[in-house]
Structure 1
């Protein structure tokens, strides 16, 4: 994604994107369709994809996630992280949104919209508990958010995920329904399984990205690293994203295509959730005086969910053909196009709400002729 030029309107920004970025929603839609078709047309594909797993997740999906995460984390300027951790407004707001309001909102929506569908309701609550640690970095980068802030908030969510997922699952799926005279099954998931997922899908690419930047800058300097090396590896992140979506939807292709009305039932509360969380976080960032970049980062990290972990927990606990697993798979089906659309909403709001920052950002763009996906601009 390009850094927004001074005075540019959203259509002008879109026109300056690489072909890969400009048609990202189309590529994602095609990836979903291909995955669904593969799941329906290739006998035994589900069994083959699930034959080898890492941290409870199919090996092809695991590889796609690692490939997707590495280029994004290689872009982070790790020497600037202290400027993010010192922003208490950002950190406290993120913790409140992700670990108090987000799970509570998803719990309420699940019971409002799926009161008669226990399996889907449980799966949706699990999605709400799995906070963002992966694809949100890509949405944040496309919307010109603060890359270093996103990395810190993702790392923070990862730590809290290890510590809080099992506890919050027990609370929202057992304790709270009992208090409210509701009935539901208790979620039983190992904290160690969650820790393994976090270590694999965040720890490995984070370490690789840090070492790549450190060694690359030491050998060639920052200018070479950001203007020559990053453009070469940048598109790999989106290729990994598309590959992951294909495989993910292939795993539940039969369930999604044979139960379209159930998909709609699950989709409605998800749409409400993403809209409320993103808009509420964006408004909060604006109200407490955050910059555009950090307001955007706060909004996307609050609205995004770690559907990979949610699917792994649902499949491991209830089975691959369960309604809980189907609810987990519908998550990215709704989240991906909605958050891509919100990227454009965020860029449009930038000019209206943060006009003074546009000129400053353009003046300090370290690599103005390189788009964020790593593709050179067309002049």
Structure 2
């Protein structure tokens, strides 16, 4: 796939994402042997095949990071402050309020109180888990500052370790909630620590032996097609596991999707607006909005299964979160890029 073909492919990425979702659902429904086989390769609820595909996406993006530039982030900490405020104060609270409004009030004639409560729980599990892996994809598509994005995600992960349980417990009034800490810690190691170390070692070796020009012009571009294909294959695997749920409950899927989409658009809008008001450069403002709008769905799904069971309304809600997030985030990427001229350039 040459550069022209790659640009055309990325331009129609939303369509390809939807196609992969449909393929995944059909596989789960009509060829369940495939997800059953892949489901054997899990460690503490973390899918090994999905992890490998995420590495294919994350590793090339981290190769672009000039780690010497990370130390300069302290000169412009506003992006970090916005990320922390949105992800740990605004987002969990608004997710709960929007979910409660829809599931307990607007949908009261459609849903039983028990099911509505489970849907709210699943929404909160999503809202309190900021994105870790996929955000590097969104940062790349919005031409974000990769070093700054790394620090935003890394600090979010550190906060996640201590804040996730109290926030979820407070919002759901479940003080005795238990979180699969092995899943949480393993996810951070797999999606951040390992690809980061691999990229640091590779970058240092190639620069020392071939030079920075070879790294930027030949080595990193060679991964472009694999990064996009990794995203599409990841979606096929995720939706192959949930094919029956999606096909058997189409109306409930729609009911759940509406508040989740509203929440995603609202959080992106408020984050992007704040970033503009405080005069952040676009390369930081766009990833800020993407981090706020997207969720750590791998963790949310795993926690929902652990707390409520595979067939619960909470688990279904987290899966719908995956269903709506990627197409919506791709639309937000396009919108953000169209607004780039309103922001100052980094410098």
**TM-score clears 0.5:** yes
Q: 1:333 aligns with which of 323, 331, 337?
A: 323
In the TM superposition, what are the counterparts of 1:1-379 in structure 2 within 5 Å?
A: 18-115=7-104, 116=113, 117-174=116-173, 187-351=177-341, 353-354=342-343, 357=345
| Residues 50 and 316 (structure 1), Cα distance of their counterparts in 2 relative to 1, 3 Å cut | farther
Range with greater deviation from structure 2 (326-335 or 63-72)? 63-72
| Residues 264 and 60 (structure 1), Cα distance of their counterparts in 2 relative to 1, 3 Å cut | same
| Residues 254 and 350 (structure 1), Cα distance of their counterparts in 2 relative to 1, 3 Å cut | same
CA contact (8 A) 1:120 1:323 kept: yes
Runs of 4+ with >6 A deviation: none
1: distance between equivalents of 2:248 and 2:135?
Answer: 30
TM-score in terms of structure 2 length: 0.91
Q: Aligned-pair distance for 1:28?
A: 0.8
Q: Aligned-pair distance for 1:338?
A: 0.8
- The RMSD of aligned alpha carbons is 1.9
CA contact (8 A) 2:301 2:318 kept: yes
Q: Aligned-pair distance for 1:114?
A: 1.3
Q: Aligned-pair distance for 1:347?
A: 1.3
Q: Structure 2: 5+ residue runs without aligned partners?
A: 105-112
1: distance between equivalents of 2:240 and 2:177?
Answer: 26
TM-score in terms of structure 1 length: 0.83
Give CA deviations for 1:126-152 in whole Å, capped at 9, x if unaligned: 001111111111112111222211111
SS in 1 for 2:177: coil
SS in 1 for 2:339: helix
Q: Aligned-pair distance for 1:335?
A: 0.9
CA contact (8 A) 1:85 1:91 kept: no
Q: Structure 1: 5+ residue runs without aligned partners?
A: 1-14, 176-184, 365-379
Q: Aligned-pair distance for 1:65?
A: 1.9
Q: Aligned-pair distance for 1:191?
A: 3.1
Number of equivalenced pairs: 334
CA contact (8 A) 1:277 1:303 kept: yes
1: distance between equivalents of 2:176 and 2:94?
Answer: 19
| Residues 165 and 325 (structure 1), Cα distance of their counterparts in 2 relative to 1, 3 Å cut | same
SS in 2 for 1:189: coil
